[in-house]
Amino acid sequence: MRRGARIALLICWLLALAGLGLLIAQRLVVSTDLRSFMPAPTTPDQKLLMEQVGEGPGSRLLLVAIDGASDEKLAALSRGLSAKLRSDSAFSQTINGDFDLGMLDDQLLPYRYLLSPTLDTASFDRDYLADQLEQRLDDLGSPAATLLKGLLPRDPTLEVLKLAEQWTPAHSPEVRDGVWFSSRGEALLLVQTRAAGFDPGAQGEAIDRIRAAFAALPDSAGAHLTLSGPGYFSVVVNAQTRSEADWIGRISTIGFIVLMLAAYRSVRSLLLGALPVVSGALAGIAVMTLAFSEVHGITLAFGFTLLGVAQEYPIRLLSHRRAGETAIESVRGLWPLLLTAIASACIAYLAFYASGVGGLKQLAVFTITGLLAAGLTTRYALPWLLPDNVRDVESTPGLAAFRNFLDRLPRPRWLPVPVALVAVLMLVFAPGPFWQNDLSALTPLPRDLLATDARLRGELGAPDVRYLLIVEGATADDVLAVSQSVEPRMRALVAKKALDAFELPSIYLPSQAVQRARQAKLPAPDALDASLESALEGMPFRKDLFAPFRHDVEMARTALPLTPQAFVRSPLGQRLAAMLVQRGDHWIGLGTLSGVRDPDAVAALGADFGGNVRLLDLKEASESLVVEYRTRILHALLAATALLLVTITLALRSVRRAWHVLAPMTLATFLVLAVERAAGIPLSLFHLVALILAAGLGLHYALFFERDTDDPAEQRRTLHATVVCVVSALLVFGMLGWSSIPVLRAIGLTVSLGVAFHFCLSILMAPHARQD
């Protein structure tokens, strides 16, 4: 090809890549919500879990502690921060112990007689009112006078304070200077975000807002802000994983460049050799952005990992080129085999599409597009650009000696039998559980963060993230009614120390029936006037003082009972909105529990409420979801294996040859499984993905070794290409294997082991050597 045409082709290719880049820049929306990477839930508990993982009141809660200043300053900071967060729409609730009477707004104030339980046991007759007024007189002579005298004309029975008490978390921390303090002297706050709990992107934003609001407070300079909670953890884990993956990535990239330069001694080959993989990645992302409205972050991470196979294509082309042969001739010779490899990898990745999980479908689209693009550019574009004259790698010093060494190795025909036997034995006698069902074990949090969380959660009486009490009903009011009848039973369980505290929707809003019953006990104006007049006899209160009280009682007596829809509009309503949700044709109440010690006792409640009340264990539901997820992947893999078998057999037109390719690959895959299990590692989804990548690489090794001709120079080229591939894979994934983060370690270790086993077995089981 002429120099001008070459440059034109290169420019066209780069322009096409730039075009893809532009398309991606405009269309790519990366989602970080973990839920979109989960399979579609099937059981009711799993459905609830998926909602709860994001929307549940517990998972959206951030625990905040401020320390490092005097109590007085800390209290001022706590008040300042909560005032700012309450006016910020990113947060649905901020509480710091400073109960604000304004939380029940003026319009809803008369409803206090329907919301408070006072009228369940008392009635507003002469005796009750006289006793209350006597107490208020004592209050006026006490230091609390300034606090109460404003309330007195409208609320002589102090219903507002009773509601405040009822709505304050049961095990609230010590109050100092008007706000919550921990036993260590930190000011404490509870902040509920509007964003979903396990959406690290949105949580990161919310946390930044809290930090910014705190930093903007006067006097915040010396004080220190501590955050905890599921949302904070997801941000920490994300940042940790990313930073470790980043520095590992940088080191292995340098190693990879050095390796490529050493192998091919050409900067041009190095740079051009990178183009097919870059093309594959860009094409994959571009197609994803066209096919899906949002791309999941995990898809991208997994996708880049799996696309590692594509680096083999240019390496094969570079290594298999003979002296004096043009790159185009060389690629023509390689193509049938490369095409088999590409097609098999695509078929294997198709399994992900069949899994029916949103994130995995994306992964399939990404990797299949990427592999095809990388393969086709390696075939139809790269050869035209490579230098005319290259060094034949067959003459690389030491290569011949290595090949001879390998050829001299004994390769008994019966080798697969003992290897398989050892693998089976290791699998059977491996210690520990086979599968890792606990997703959180893969991204463990530093111990001190967990300890801080447990401590703050205990002090704040914040609800457990793990358990929820689910109350179901046909209407919101049914839910409230059932919730109400559960309340005394739950109080009994708290008394028996089965749990520390609970919160149910009916604590905020009683059912219509209860409100009507309380209404019925409110006296008519004449009766109230008579009782009040007689109660006031001999008391120093001004005679017309209680007109606002009489007005409110009459309002409450004649108003329609308060509905959830109306209540939700009040500042306190957000709390109820989080606890009372409509799902399809029925309603669900979410009771939060804290300090659950005896989950069975709580679960046993369900039997008495005809299936309308049950304990939801989010951990159990999530584990069942993971099991289902894995089952689907395994089924898909099984199908893929069958397809692969057929493809390879058809491509090689020989069952015997197909056996020589597939046997070492399968055996090596099981050997990796066996070694990891023997080391006591329970297997997770991430191990499975890594195994698939390793198998993809192993397929290449086996295909090329199987093809080995009698030409010793070509044998050496095959070995060269394979060694470059193996070393580069070991470089990248071996580094990951040292990571402190289990997810990265799982991928790194599995691929490294896989590459090593695939390499050894495909050499030892290659057919030609036995024919010698």
Partner 1 sequence: MLILALIPLLSYARSTPEASDANAFIATLKRPPPARTPFAEARFMRVLDKPLVVSGELAWLGGDRLERRVDAPNRETATIADGEVTQQREGKKPRSFSLQRAPQLKVLLDSFVALLGGDPSRLGDAFDVKLARGDVHWTLTLTPRDARIAKQISAIRIDGAGTEPGCMRMEEADGDVAIDLLGDLATKMPATPTRENLAALCGGAP
Stretch that binds partner 1, among 141-149, 364-372, 647-655, 743-751 (CB under 8 A): 141-149
**Helix (H), strand (E), coil (C) string for 494-518:** HHCCCCCEEECHHHHCCCHHHHHHH
Q: Which of 26, 121, 146, 389 binds partner 1 (CB under 8 A)?
A: 146
Residue 565 amino acid letter:
Q
Residue 72 in contact with partner 1, rule: CB under 8 A:
yes
Residue 762 amino acid letter:
S
* x-marked contacts with partner 1 along 505-544 as a string, rule CB under 8 A: -----------------------------------xxxx-
Residue 138 in contact with partner 1, rule: CB under 8 A:
yes
Stretch that binds partner 1, among 176-184, 443-451, 548-556, 628-636 (CB under 8 A): 176-184
**The CA-based dihedral angle spanning residues 260, 262, 267, 268, taken in that order and rounded to the nearest 10 degrees:** -70
**Minimum distance, C-beta of residue 570 to partner 1, in the bound complex (Å):** 22
Residue 152 in contact with partner 1, rule: CB under 8 A:
yes
295 vs 513: CA distance, rounded Å: 48
533 or 598, CB closer to partner 1?
533
Q: What is the DSSP letter of 411?
A: -
* x-marked contacts with partner 1 along 660-699 as a string, rule CB under 8 A: ----------------------------------------
138 or 529, CB closer to partner 1?
138
**What is the H or E stretch that residue 648 is in?**
helix 618-652
11 or 147, CB closer to partner 1?
147
Q: Which of 4, 102, 143, 222 binds partner 1 (CB under 8 A)?
A: 143
| Structure tokens that stand for 297 in this block | 């972050």
Where does 391-537 show beta strands of DSSP type E? 467-473, 501-503
Bridge partners (DSSP) of residue 202 are: none
Q: Token pair 């690290």 is at which residue?
A: 200
Bridge partners (DSSP) of residue 93 are: 192
Q: Which of 175, 274, 603, 643 binds partner 1 (CB under 8 A)?
A: 175
**Minimum distance, C-beta of residue 529 to partner 1, in the bound complex (Å):** 18
Name which of 103, 68, 91, 97 is nearest 213 in CA terms: 91
Stretch that binds partner 1, among 83-91, 111-119, 177-185, 464-472 (CB under 8 A): 177-185
Residue 176 in contact with partner 1, rule: CB under 8 A:
yes
Name which of 747, 733, 668, 736 is nearest 702 in CA terms: 668
164 or 604, CB closer to partner 1?
164
Q: What are phi and psi of 41, to 5 degrees?
A: -70, 145
543 or 653, CB closer to partner 1?
543
29 or 495, CB closer to partner 1?
495
**Minimum distance, C-beta of residue 179 to partner 1, in the bound complex (Å):** 8
* x-marked contacts with partner 1 along 91-130 as a string, rule CB under 8 A: -------x--------------------------------
> What size, in residues, is the chain?
772
Residue 177 in contact with partner 1, rule: CB under 8 A:
yes
146 or 740, CB closer to partner 1?
146
Q: Token pair 């060694």 is at which residue?
A: 723
Stretch that binds partner 1, among 68-76, 326-334, 450-458, 648-656 (CB under 8 A): 68-76
**Minimum distance, C-beta of residue 518 to partner 1, in the bound complex (Å):** 25
User: Chain centroid to CA 307: how far?
Assistant: 23
Decide: 629 and 357 in contact? Cβ < 8 Å. yes
Decide: 187 and 74 in contact? Cβ < 8 Å. yes
**Minimum distance, C-beta of residue 473 to partner 1, in the bound complex (Å):** 36
Q: Which of 38, 50, 63, 179 binds partner 1 (CB under 8 A)?
A: 179
Decide: 112 and 104 in contact? Cβ < 8 Å. yes
**The CA-based dihedral angle spanning residues 341, 342, 344, 347, taken in that order and rounded to the nearest 10 degrees:** 170
Q: Which of 212, 271, 527, 545 binds partner 1 (CB under 8 A)?
A: 545
* x-marked contacts with partner 1 along 332-371 as a string, rule CB under 8 A: ----------------------------------------
Helix (H, G, I), strand (E, B) or coil at 596: coil
**Minimum distance, C-beta of residue 152 to partner 1, in the bound complex (Å):** 6
# chain residues binding partner 1, by CB under 8 A: 27
710 vs 705: CA distance, rounded Å: 12
**Minimum distance, C-beta of residue 137 to partner 1, in the bound complex (Å):** 7
Q: Which pairing describes strands 295-296 and 30-31: parallel, antiparallel, or unpaired?
A: parallel
158 or 765, CB closer to partner 1?
158
Q: Which of 5, 11, 22, 147 binds partner 1 (CB under 8 A)?
A: 147
Residue 137 in contact with partner 1, rule: CB under 8 A:
yes
Q: Which of 3, 26, 106, 141 binds partner 1 (CB under 8 A)?
A: 141
Residue 153 in contact with partner 1, rule: CB under 8 A:
yes
**Minimum distance, C-beta of residue 61 to partner 1, in the bound complex (Å):** 24
Stretch that binds partner 1, among 15-23, 173-181, 288-296, 684-692 (CB under 8 A): 173-181
Q: Which of 12, 71, 268, 608 binds partner 1 (CB under 8 A)?
A: 71
Decide: 482 and 612 in contact? Cβ < 8 Å. yes
Residue 183 in contact with partner 1, rule: CB under 8 A:
no
Residue 4 in contact with partner 1, rule: CB under 8 A:
no
Q: Token pair 């006591």 is at which residue?
A: 680
Residue 140 in contact with partner 1, rule: CB under 8 A:
yes
Cα angle: 463, vertex 466, 502; to 5 degrees: 35
175 or 678, CB closer to partner 1?
175
Residue 144 in contact with partner 1, rule: CB under 8 A:
yes
142: exposed, middle or buried (Cβ count in 10 Å: 0-12, 13-18, 19+): exposed
Decide: 404 and 347 in contact? Cβ < 8 Å. no
Q: What is the DSSP letter of 710?
A: S
Decide: 269 and 387 in contact? Cβ < 8 Å. yes
**Minimum distance, C-beta of residue 507 to partner 1, in the bound complex (Å):** 21
Decide: 460 and 187 in contact? Cβ < 8 Å. no
| Structure tokens that stand for 354 in this block | 């069949």
Ranges within 224-263 binding partner 1 (CB under 8 A): none
- The conformational region for residue 69 under phi > 0 = left, psi -120 to 50 = alpha, else beta, is beta
Residue 251 amino acid letter:
I
72 or 325, CB closer to partner 1?
72
Give the C-alpha distances (Å, rounded to integers) separating 576 from 164, 509, 589.
15, 8, 9
464 vs 595: CA distance, rounded Å: 7
Name which of 365, 257, 242 is nearest 303 in CA terms: 365
Stretch that binds partner 1, among 171-179, 214-222, 265-273, 648-656 (CB under 8 A): 171-179
545 or 627, CB closer to partner 1?
545
175 or 517, CB closer to partner 1?
175
Helix (H, G, I), strand (E, B) or coil at 2: coil
Bridge partners (DSSP) of residue 490 are: none
106 or 544, CB closer to partner 1?
544
Residue 208 in contact with partner 1, rule: CB under 8 A:
no
Please report, as ranges, the residues that interact with partner 1 according to CB under 8 A.
Answer: 71-72, 75, 98, 137-138, 140-147, 149, 152-153, 175-179, 540-543, 545
